[in-house]
Amino acid sequence: MAFIKPFKALRPRGELVGKVAAPPYDVMNVAEARAMAEGNPFSFLHVSRPEIDLARDLDPHDESVYRAGRENLARFIDGKILVQDSEERYYIYRQRMGAVEQTGLVACASVDDYQTGVIKKHELTRADKEEDRVKHIDCLDANDEPVFYVYRNRPSINDLVGRLTREKPVYDFTADDSVTHTVWAVTDPLVITRLSEEFSAIDTLYVADGHHRSAAASRVRELRKAANGKHDGNEEYNFFLTVIFPDHEMNVMAYNRAVMDLNGLSPEEFIARISGLFDVSPAESAVSPRERHSFGMYLMGRWYLLTAKTSIVDENDAVGRLDVSILQDNLLKPILGIDDPRTNQRIHFVGGSRGNEELVRLVDSGEHKVAFSLHPTSMEELMSLADQDRIMPPKSTWFEPKLRSGLFVHMLSP
Domain CATH number, residue 335: 3.30.1760
- Both 222 and 90 in a single domain? yes
State residue 168's pLDDT score: 97
State residue 66's pLDDT score: 98
The whole-angstrom separation of Cα 356 and Cα 311 is: 28
Nearest to 356 by CA among 283, 287, 253, 261: 287
User: Which phi and psi (to 5°) does residue 341 adopt?
Assistant: -65, -15
What domain range is 157 assigned to? Answer: 4-252+400-411
Q: Does residue 393 form part of some domain?
A: no
Q: Does residue 316 form part of some domain?
A: yes
115 bridge partner residues: none
The whole-angstrom separation of Cα 3 and Cα 5 is: 7
Q: What is the DSSP pairing of strand 119-120 with strand 410-411? A: unpaired
State residue 38's pLDDT score: 95
Q: Does residue 395 form part of some domain?
A: no
- Both 271 and 243 in a single domain? no
- Both 34 and 85 in a single domain? yes
Instruction: Count the helices and strands in the chain (H runs, E runs).
Output: 13, 21
Inter-residue contact 118 to 2 (CB < 8 Å) = yes
- Both 193 and 327 in a single domain? no
Inter-residue contact 141 to 412 (CB < 8 Å) = yes
Low-confidence ranges of the chain (pLDDT < 70): none
Q: Does residue 367 form part of some domain?
A: yes
- Both 69 and 178 in a single domain? yes
Nearest to 342 by CA among 306, 301, 396, 299: 396
- Both 175 and 301 in a single domain? no
The whole-angstrom separation of Cα 226 and Cα 284 is: 61
* Domain tally, the chain: 2
- Both 405 and 290 in a single domain? no
- Both 365 and 230 in a single domain? no
Tell me: the pLDDT tens digits for 38-95? Answer: 999 999 999 999 999 999 999 999 999 999 999 999 999 999 999 999 999 999 999 9
State residue 4's pLDDT score: 98
Q: How many CB atoms lie within 10 A of CB 148?
A: 23
The whole-angstrom separation of Cα 350 and Cα 195 is: 37
State yes or no: cis peptide before 334, omega within 30 of 0. no
- Both 221 and 147 in a single domain? yes
Q: Does residue 390 form part of some domain?
A: no
- What letter does residue 153 receive in the DSSP assignment? -
Q: Does residue 128 form part of some domain?
A: yes
- Both 172 and 97 in a single domain? yes
- Both 123 and 239 in a single domain? yes
